[in-house]
Amino acid sequence: MKTRATPVSQNYLERQARQRGYQLLIACSEDQPDNEMRCIEHLLQRQVDAIIVSTSLPPEHPFYQRWANDPFPIVALDRALDREHFTSVVGADQDDAEMLAEELRKFPAETVLYLGALPELSVSFLREQGFRTAWKDDPREVNFLYANSYEREAAAQLFEKWLETHPMPQALFTTSFALLQGVMDVTLRRDGKLPSDLAIATFGDHELLDFLQCPVLAVAQRHRDVAETRAGDCAGKS
């Protein structure tokens, strides 16, 4: 089960699943916890052999604990579940965020915006911690914004509201490419283009970034490696 934040790796995962003789069913929670729990219950009713989930639930939520000692394989993607009882396939979120922020600090920007989402999620927490570690000795003030989901539309709505009382930032750090898309939607609609001196740091290596005229820092996410790991984990457990 995926969210808007994890769309790219599903193509790799589908191929890996077919090669192992599995049919891959895909459901999207839209980063809504109630949707996620309903989707999980529905998939279990379909008697699936395993579940791969990028959860929108906070780590302390009890929903998945009913399977903590169950042999049924549940694998967490990007957003970790309880590591004592579940396999989690996650990136080096804190280290990557710290590296991105260190590079962003080199730009002579006076106004800085950090745009994240769902701060209670493990991936959100780790990326914020990495950013804060890199920025802790920098005297420049950072504005922190958090959307209520990782959807492009949520980021656009939040950023547009923020611009009503703030100028366009000179440096922007987003914790996902979808959030950056929301910012670009608002800016292009309002100004027709992105400022050429806007320094951007984000996660994901979407080809669209190559066409931006402003400086962009991006951490490539290894979708193929992640897909192979997830498929192998499920095949080994089921």
Max mean pLDDT range (69-78, 101-110, 196-205): 101-110
pLDDT for the residue 8: 47
Going by C-alpha positions, the residue among 116, 101, 107, 95 that lies closest to residue 180 is 116
* Sign of the torsion formed by the C-alpha atoms of 57, 63, 66 and 70: negative
pLDDT of residue 22: 82
Domain ranges of the chain: 10-90+223-235, 93-219
Looking at residues 2-25, what average pLDDT do you find? 69
Instruction: Please say whether the beta carbons of 76 and 86 come within 8 A.
Output: yes
Sheet holding 51-53, edge to edge: 51-53, 74-77, 87-89
Which class does domain 10-90+223-235 fall in? alpha beta
**Whose CA is closest to 143, among 106, 168, 108, 122?**
168
**What's the pLDDT band for 214 if we cut at 50, 70, 90?**
very high
From start to end of 78-231, where are the E strands?
87-89, 112-117, 142-147, 171-174, 199-203, 216-219
Per-residue model confidence as pLDDT tens digits over 200-211: 999 987 888 888
**CATH class of the domain at 93-219:** alpha beta
User: Where residue 119 falls among pLDDT bands split at 50, 70, 90?
Assistant: very high
Q: How confident is the model at residue 96 (pLDDT cuts 50, 70, 90)?
A: very high
- Average pLDDT over the chain, rounded to an integer: 87
* Better-predicted residue by pLDDT, 16 or 198: 198
**Residue 225 pLDDT:** 53
Fold match between domain 10-90+223-235 and domain 93-219: yes
